[in-house]
A and B are shown apart, each in its own frame.
Chain A
Amino acid sequence: MKIQHNNPDSCTACTACIAQCPVTAVTRKFRGPKMVGPALERMRLSQEDTEPSLEYCSNCKNCDIACPSGVPISTLNMLARAKSFKNRSHSLRDDMLAHGEKMAKLAEKIPGGAFLANLGMNLGGSLGLMNLAGIAGERPLPSYAAESFLRQFKKFKQQSCPDKVVFYPGCFINYNDPQVGMDFVAVMQANGYEVIVEEDFVCCGSPMVATGYLDEAGEQARTNTELLKKWRQQGYPVITCCTSCGLMLKQEYQELYDIEGMAENARNLYDGCEFLLLLADKGKLNTHFAALEEKVLYHAPCHLRAQGFGLPALDLLELIPGLRVENAGAGCCGIAGNYGFKADKYDISMAIGEKLFQRIKDSGVDTVVSDCGTCRLQIAHGAKVETVHPLTLLRRAYER
C-alpha cells in the first residue's frame, strides 16, 4: 500500500503548516504552505492556475512535518511548480542549479577541470557574473574536489568481508565532499562490512524536482529504481549519507512517480547513521572508540527530520567517550538544497538561518556536525565555523 497520498482534501485548514514554514516566517512574498499547497491544489484540479509565489517554497518539508493530517504539502508544491513550466522555459540559472551532476562531469573530463571550474566560480562570484546568471555571488559555490569519491574509492584497498552494503554517494559527496564517502567506507570497514559502490547510479533528481524538472528527474528515478532493485534482489542493503538523496530515493519517488519497485526499494534503503545505530541496537557496533575531548553542536537537517526515524547521529555520537554533543534545535538552516544559491533567495535563506547562526555563536563551539552537505555549507558560511559529517567524527574516534 502506498502510505503517501496526494490528498489536498485531508487538509482541515488548521494552519499548523503556516506556523512552521521557515520561508513564511521571513518573507511576506510567499503566500504560505496551506494556500499554495492544498488550498490551491483543489483549484488546480479543475483549472489551470499558476500561483506566482510558489517559487518561494524551498521544498524544505517543515510543513509536512507539522501537518497532523498527513498532507504532503511540499510535494503538491513541487508538482505545481513543474506544471508551471509546461508553458514557459527555464532560466540558465535553474538549468545550472538543477544539473550539478552534469556540470561536475564536464569539469571532470577536462584535465585540471576541477581546478579551473573552481577558479572560474570564484572569479565569477567576485566579478558579479554569478549574480548576472541569477546565482548568489555572496555565497561561495561548493568547490569541486581534486579527485572525486569514485576515483578515490577505486584506488582504495578494502578488506574483503562476507557482509556487504551498497553505497549511494550522491553528487555532493561524489564531486564536492568525497571525504565523507571515504569516512563512510572506513567506518564500515571498522565494523566488518565491505562497501560496494554502484557506478551507474545517477543523481537522485532532488535538485531537478526543486527547480521544476519533474520529467527529467523521473528519468533519473527510473534508472536508479532499476539499480536499487538489482541490489535489493541480491540482498544487499543500500546506504546513503546524504539526507536529501535519502528522502528522494525513499519517499519523494513514491510521492511523485509511479514506478514499479519503488516501495520495495525504499524498505531496503538506509541512512548511514541509522544503519550503524541499528547495529548498535543488536550489540554489533564496534565501540572501540578513542576519546574525543571536544564540544560540538549538532544541526538536524530538515530532510532528515522528515524521514521519521529521529536523529540517529545524536545517539551514535553519544557513544564516543569525551565528546559532548548538543542538539542545536534551531530549525531550518535556510539553504534547502539549491534554494539558497539563487540570487533572489539568498537574503531569505540567510534570514532563515539567522536563528541557527546565533545559536552556534552563543554556544561558543567551533565545530558543527550535520548530516547534510548543503546545510554544512550554509553553516560554515553563516556562522564561520568548521563543519563535519557525523561519520567523520566516528572515523576519527576509531582511528585515534
Chain B
Amino acid sequence: MRQSDVIVIGGGFAGLTAAAVAAKRGKTVTVLSKGVGTLTISGGTIDLLGCGSDGRPFASPAAGLALVDPDHPYSKIGKEAVQAAVDFFLDLCETAGFPYRGNLQEMKWIPTAAGTIKPTCLVPKTMDTAPLAETDMVYAVGFHCLKDYYPHIVAKNLQKLPGYDKTYHIAMVDPRFTAGRDVSALDIARWLDTESGRQDCIEQLRNTVKPGAVLLLPPVLGTRPDYQVLQELEQAVRCRIIETVALPPAMTGFRLRNLLLDHLKSAGVRIVEQAFVAKAIVENGRCLAVVTQNSDRERSYSAQAFILANGGFYGGGLLAEPGKAVEPIFHLPVKAPASQTQWSNPRLFSREQQPFAKIGIAVDSTLRPLAENGSLALENVYIAGRSLAGYDFCFEKSGNGVALASGYQAAMMV
C-alpha cells in the first residue's frame, strides 16, 4: 500500500491544480488517473464566470462572483480563495516561462473559430486581443486542408462586432501535407514546432500579409508551453498574432497540461497513470484508502486526505443510472432534480441553463461532501471540478475557473 499525505483522484485541470497546490504546501501527493482529462483537447483559457443564470454577460468575473447563488461552488469557495487561486495560477505560469494574462476585474472577450466572441478571464499571451486596438488591418489566416476552420467565416462574422469593425483580408498558408489523415490543429502545431515548418510558414505569410496588421490564426502556435513560435512569427512578419478558440484537439489546452505536468514532476508529485479508482475503504466517516482496479489486481493507496477530481458525467466521475445519478467511488449522495424528466430543458439552444448540468455533489465551504441531511458525509474527502453540484459550466462559461478555484481550495483544506 502506497502512503501519501494527499491522494488526488483524476488528472484533469482540477486534479492537477490541486496536486500543485498541495505539493507547494509541502505535502506528499499522489495523483491517480485513468485517462487524461479534458484539458488535453480543450481550450486552455480559464473561463471564470461569463454570464449569469439569465444568460446575460457580467461586466467582470468579479462582478459575477458577487451575484452567484448560494449553491454555486464559487459561493462555497468564497471570493478571497478564488482570487488566491487566480494568483497562484498566474504565478505558476509566469515562473514556468509561459505567462497568462488577465484578472478578475476584467472580462476578456476572445474571438472563436465561428467568428463569435466569448467571455473568459485568463488567457495565454497568444489569445490576448490587445493588439487589435493598434491596427485597422486584420488577416483571417487559414491553413489548407485544416478541418473545421473557415477563415472567411471568421472574418465575415467578426467584422460585425464592436471592436472588430476593421478591414479584413484572408490569407491561406499551405503546410504542404501530402496524402494522409485529416489535418487538425495538432498537425499544424507540430509543423510549426519544426524549424523548417516555421520558416515555410513565415515565407508564405510574408508574401501575403502587410506588416503592421493583426493576424487571426487557429490555435496552432506550437505544442509546447512557451511563446517561441508566437515570437518568431510575429518578428518575422512584423504583425501581431492572435489565436482563436477552436474545436478540439485545441493546442491551447494541450500546452497548459504539459506545463502542469512538467511542474508537478519537478515538485515531486507522483502520477499513477491507468489507475482506475473503483472504490474506497471508509471507516467511521473517514476514508482510509482508495482502491484501483486493473486487469491484474486491486491496489490500495492510503493517505491522510483525498481530493475527488474525476470529472462529472463527462469525465466518468458521475454515472447516470435509470432514475438517478450516482457517484461510483464513495457512493456520495448526488444532488439532482427529483424526477429525471426535469433533468433537461428540452429547448437545447434556449437561453436557459440545463438542469442536468448542475447535477453533482453538494459540499460545504471546505468542499467536503454533504450527506442527505446536510451533515458532513466524509471527514477527509474534498470535491473539486466537474463533479461539484450547482453550476452549468457550459452555459455560464466557468469550466476551468471552477476547476481552478475548487482544486485550489480543496488543496488548501487538506
Cβ contact within 8 Å between B248 and A31: no
Partner of B36, one of A16, A25, A267: A16
Q: Does A69 contact B (CB under 8 A)?
A: yes
A136 at the interface (CB under 8 A from B): no
Complex interface: chain A residues within 8 A of B296 (CB): 250-251, 266-267, 269, 307
User: For residue A263, which residues in chain B have a CB less than 8 angstroms away from its CB?
Assistant: 295
Q: Cβ of A281 < 8 Å from any Cβ of B?
A: yes
The answer to whether B295 touches A310, judged by C-beta atoms less than 8 angstroms apart, is: no
Closest-CB distance, A365 to chain B (whole angstroms): 16
Cβ contacts under 8 Å, A16 to chain B: 35-36, 40-41, 249
Q: Does B279 contact A (CB under 8 A)?
A: no
Is A306 interfacial (CB 8 A cutoff)?
A: yes
B177 and A28 within 8 A (CB)? yes
Answer whether A66 and B180 are a contact pair too, CB < 8 Å, given A20-B40, A308-B276, A308-B292: no
Interface residues of B in 74-120 (CB under 8 A from A): none
Number of B residues near A (Cβ < 8 Å) is: 43
Interface string of B314-331 (1 = CB under 8 A from A): 011000000000000000
Query: Which of A27, A68, A250, A306 counts the most B-chain CB atoms under 10 A from its CB?
Result: A68
Q: Which residue of A lies closest to B11 (CB)?
A: A68
Q: Flag if B181 contacts A66 (CB, 8 Å).
A: no
Separation of A69 and B316 alpha carbons in the complex (Å)? 8
**Cβ-based interface call for A361 (8 A):** no
CB of B187 closer than 8 Å to a CB of A = yes
Tell me if A102 is interfacial: C-beta within 8 Å of chain B: no
Question: With A67-B35, A68-B316 known to touch, is A35 a contact of B181 (CB < 8 Å)?
Answer: yes
Give Cα A15–Cα B40 distance, bound, in whole angstroms.
9
Report A314 CB to chain B, min CB distance, Å.
8
In chain A, positions 14-67 with a C-beta closer than 8 Å to chain B are 14-16, 18-20, 24-25, 27-32, 35, 53, 64-67
Q: How far is the CA of A307 from the CA of B295 in the complex (A)?
A: 8
Provide the residues of chain A in CB contact with B299, threshold 8 Å. 309
Q: Is A100 an interface residue (CB 8 A)?
A: no
Nearest CB to that of A35 among chain B residues?
A: B181
User: CA–CA, A31 to B178, complex, Å?
Assistant: 13
| Distance of B387 from chain A, by nearest CB (Å) | 14
Whether the Cβ atoms of B35 and A266 lie closer than 8 Å is no
Which of A18, A27, A266 touches B297 (beta carbons < 8 Å)?
A266
B238 beta carbon closer than 8 Å to chain A: no
B248 touches A70 (CB 8 A): no
Contact B295 A14 (CB under 8 A): no
One digit per residue, 1 when the CB lies within 8 angstroms of any chain A CB and 0 when it does not, for chain B 156-200 equals 000000000000000000000111110010110010000000000
From B48-56, B267-275, B342-350, the one touching the partner chain is: B267-275
B186 pairs with A281, CB closer than 8 A? no
Chain B 258-270 interface 0/1 with A at a Cβ cutoff of 8 Å (1 = within) = 0001100100001
Tell me if A358 counts as interface (CB < 8 A to partner B).
no
**What is the interface size of chain A, counting residues whose CB is below 8 A from a CB of the partner?**
44
Interface mask (B12-37 → A, CB under 8 Å = 1, otherwise 0): 00000000000000000010001111
Roughly how many angstroms separate A311 CA and B276 CA in the complex, as a whole number? Answer: 16
**Chain B residues with Cβ under 8 A from A233's Cβ?**
none
A327 close to B (CB within 8 Å): yes
A322 at the interface (CB under 8 A from B): no
Distance between B265 CB and nearest chain A CB, rounded to angstroms: 5
| Contact call A19/B295, Cβ cutoff below 8 A | no
Within 8 A of A (CB), among B295-313: 295-297, 299, 311
Interface-centre pick from A30, A70, A309 (highest chain B CB count, 10 A): A309
A68 to B315 CA separation, bound complex (whole angstroms): 7
Residues from chain A with a CB closer than 8 A to the CB of B340 are none
* Chain B proximity mask over A313-355: 1 for CB below 8 Å, otherwise 0: 0010000000000010100000000000000000000000000
Q: Contact: A68 with B37, CB < 8 Å?
A: yes
Contact B41 A25 (CB under 8 A): no
- Pick from B248, B261, B311, B316 the residue with the most CB of A within 10 Å: B248
B365 at the interface (CB under 8 A from A): no
Chain A residues in 8 Å Cβ range of B292 = 308
The answer to whether B294 has its CB under 8 Å from any CB of chain A is yes
A-side contacts of B135, CB under 8 Å: none
Chain A residues with CB below 8 A from B41, complex form: 14-16, 19
> What is the CA–CA distance of A19 and B179 in the complex, to the nearest angstrom?
20
List the B residue with the shortest CB-CB distance to A300.
B273
Q: Which residues of B lie under 8 Å from residue A30 when comparing CB positions? A: 180-181
Question: A308 CA to B297 CA in the complex, in Å?
Answer: 10
- Whether A281 contacts B295 by the Cβ 8 Å rule is no
From 265 to 317 in chain A, residues with beta carbon under 8 angstroms from any chain B beta carbon are 266-267, 269, 281, 305-311, 315
- B293 adjacent to chain A (CB < 8 Å): yes
Point out the residues of chain B lying under 8 angstroms from A327, CB to CB. Answer: 265
- Min CB gap A52→B, angstroms: 11
CB distance from B195 to the nearest CB of A (A): 13
Q: Which of A15, A19, A309 contacts B294, CB < 8 Å? A: A309
Residue among B1, B2, B40, B276 making CB contact with A19, cutoff 8 Å = B40
Which B residues are in CB contact (< 8 Å) with A269? 296
- Whether B143 sits at the interface, judged by CB under 8 Å, is no
Considering only CB atoms, which chain A residue lies closest to B316 in the complex? Answer: A68
A15 adjacent to B181 (CB under 8 Å): no
Q: A19-B41, A28-B177, A267-B296 are in contact. Are A308 and B186 (CB under 8 A)?
A: no
Taking the nearest CB of chain B, how far is it from the CB of A355, in angstroms? Answer: 10
| Contact partners of B295 in chain A: CB under 8 A | 3-4, 250-251, 254-255, 263, 266
Known contacts A14-B248, A68-B36; is-contact A31 B180 (Cβ 8 Å):
yes
Is B273's CB under 8 angstroms from A305's CB?
yes
Interface flag for B254 (CB, 8 Å): yes
Q: Establish whether residues A19 and B34, one from each chain, have CB atoms under 8 Å apart when the complex forms.
A: no
Cα separation A27 to B265 with both chains bound (whole Å): 28
* A-side contacts of B271, CB under 8 Å: 310
Q: Which of A24, A31, A64 is in CB contact (< 8 Å) with B274?
A: A64
Most-contacted residue by chain A among B178, B272, B294, B315 (CB, 10 A): B294
List chain A residues, Cβ under 8 A from B178: 28
- B316 surroundings in chain A (CB, below 8 A): 68-69
Instruction: Tell me the minimal C-beta distance from B12 to chain A in angstroms.
Output: 9
Contacts of B272 in A (CB 8 A): 308-310
The answer on a CB contact under 8 Å between A310 and B297 is no
Contact between A66 and B186, CB atoms less than 8 A apart = no
Whether B297 and A267, one on each chain, are in contact in the complex, defined by CB atoms closer than 8 angstroms, is yes
Q: Contact at B265–A70, with CB atoms within 8 Å? A: no
Instruction: State the CA gap A64–B294 with chains docked (Å).
Output: 13
Tell me which of B35, B181, B261 contacts A70 (CB under 8 A): B35
A11 to chain B, nearest CB (A): 12
- Residue in contact with A308 in the complex, picked from B254, B270, B274, CB distance below 8 Å: B274
Chain A residues with CB under 8 A of B297 = 266-267
Nearest A-chain residue to B315, judged by Cβ: A68
7 residue pairs, one from A and one from B, having the closest CB atoms: A68-B35, A28-B180, A308-B274, A310-B272, A251-B295, A266-B296, A31-B181
Interchain residue pairs with CB less than 8 A apart (10): A16-B35, A19-B186, A28-B177, A29-B180, A65-B35, A68-B37, A251-B295, A255-B295, A266-B295, A310-B272
Q: Besides A25-B190, A28-B187, A255-B295, 15 other CB < 8 A contacts?
A: A3-B276, A3-B295, A19-B186, A28-B177, A29-B179, A53-B181, A65-B35, A68-B36, A69-B35, A266-B295, A306-B273, A307-B274, A307-B294, A308-B274, A308-B292
